[in-house]
Amino acid sequence: MRERVLGEVHARPFRPLTSPRTVLHYAFLTSAEEAAQDQAWLSEFCISRGTHGPAPGNRHHTVSFGGGTLSWEQHAEFTTYTWDGAANPERIFGPLPAAHPFGAAFRAPGDLLVAVRLELREPMNDEIWRSQFDESSLTVSNLEDEAAGVATDFRQDGDGLTRILVFNRSLSDVQSGAVIQRLLEVETYRTLAMLGLFEAGNLQPEIRRYEIELAELTGQMKDASALGANQDLLDKLTALAAALEAGATASTFRFGASRAYDQIVKARFATLKEEAAPGELSMASFLSRRLAPAMRTCQAIEDRQAMLSRKLARATTLLRTRVDVELEQQNRSLLQSMNRRARLQLRLQQTVEGLSVAAVSYYVVGLISYLAKAAKDAGLPVPSANIATGVSVPVIVLLIWWTVRRIRKHHGEH
């Protein structure tokens, strides 16, 4: 990774710019697939002009075009195209230069997010340039310790471009390039930061619905006592928690990205050393009126999501505990019933064992009776068959009882 890490330091150098100069800057939201298709298109575009395209894996490239320079950059979720060329020295914000690359042949890689027209000029009379802006939202600032000035109203002109006018008082060409790049980044990142506000607006009704539903389910928990009712409530709470987590997961990236972009905007203003011109409103002050509330709204929605998630977790845990206790009580009752059934079975078994001893003894005594009668008929010295049978009864009963007892004891040991 060493080569790539070292190359990243020099990835986006400041290009020296001289005045008068016109800069067109476009930013497009791009997915991974759109970014790959855009890089392939740019490679073909560069080859068609007799130059090489961006190397595989590169996220930035520069090519000469129309007497100026076209720069291409890929970021995490957007792609930018920036072209600078000579400006009309006599008229500010006149017709767009015919040599710019964003004509009918240009292929937009994704949804258009930012479109900026910036002009770098020498200081001029206020009456000349003020008519190009809306006075109600005009901001005028000094940059780099009054080495430069900037004016913009953050509105779109007839071509859908946000106009920014930069006055070069004492900047070098490299400083001019740095100032212009940072101003373009301010416009790009402040637009990206505002995307979180609309995500928050989309989530707000949904979160409110979740809060109302949670309150209703919590109220039902007080009245629910049957196991089936508690299980139904638990299923509803689980489904509600899953829906909330899905929405929170989907919005985590957008809110985190908005905070990061907002910090970048603040860092760029600090680097530019921007201060309001006397009697004017600064860019930072104007943007903070909307960016700051937008960031607070995003944070508030995140906090509500987190709080609702914790409440759902507590309610689910409480209800699950109640269900577990009810199940344990049912299991206890079931075990008691099984114990009673086992005792009844034991008594029945003991009764059956007593009957079996009598029955087996009866059959054995009968066999002995037949043997005694047969022996007497055969002339053997048997006093009487009835006496022999009667004498054998207690002996046989005891022997059978002892045998059954041994068998039961043997089974019990195993």
CB count, 10 Å around CB of 107? 10
Can you give the pLDDT at residue 155? 92
CA distances to 3, 9, 11, 58, 79 from 6, in Å? 5, 6, 9, 13, 22
| Residue 276 to residue 159: CA distance in whole angstroms | 28
pTM of the model: 0.74
Can you give the pLDDT at residue 225? 65
| Residue 187 to residue 12: CA distance in whole angstroms | 17
Length of the chain: 414
The helix/strand/coil state of 155 is strand
Can you give the pLDDT at residue 31? 93
Q: What is the pLDDT of residues 310-360, one digit of tens each?
A: 888 888 887 777 777 777 878 888 888 888 888 888 777 767 776 777 888
| Residue 204 to residue 301: CA distance in whole angstroms | 7
Calculate ∠ Cα 271-272-274, nearest 5°.
120
Which residues, 6 or more positions from 4, have their beta carbon under 8 angstroms from its beta carbon? Answer: 57
Q: What is the pLDDT of residues 72-128, one digit of tens each?
A: 999 989 999 999 998 888 889 988 888 899 988 899 999 999 999 999 999 988 888
For 224-243, b where at least 16 C-beta lie within 10 A, e where not — what string? beeeeebbebbebbeebbee
| Residue 33 to residue 190: CA distance in whole angstroms | 25
| Residue 141 to residue 139: CA distance in whole angstroms | 7
Can you give the pLDDT at residue 224? 65
| Residue 100 to residue 67: CA distance in whole angstroms | 9
Can you give the pLDDT at residue 414? 59
The helix/strand/coil state of 352 is helix
Can you give the pLDDT at residue 390? 79
- Range 289-296, long-range pairs (CB < 8 A, 24+ positions): 290/194, 291/190, 291/193, 291/194, 291/262, 291/265, 294/193, 294/194, 294/196, 294/197, 294/258, 295/193, 295/196, 295/258, 295/259, 295/262
Counting as low any pLDDT under 50, the low residues of the chain are none
Can you give the pLDDT at residue 240? 85
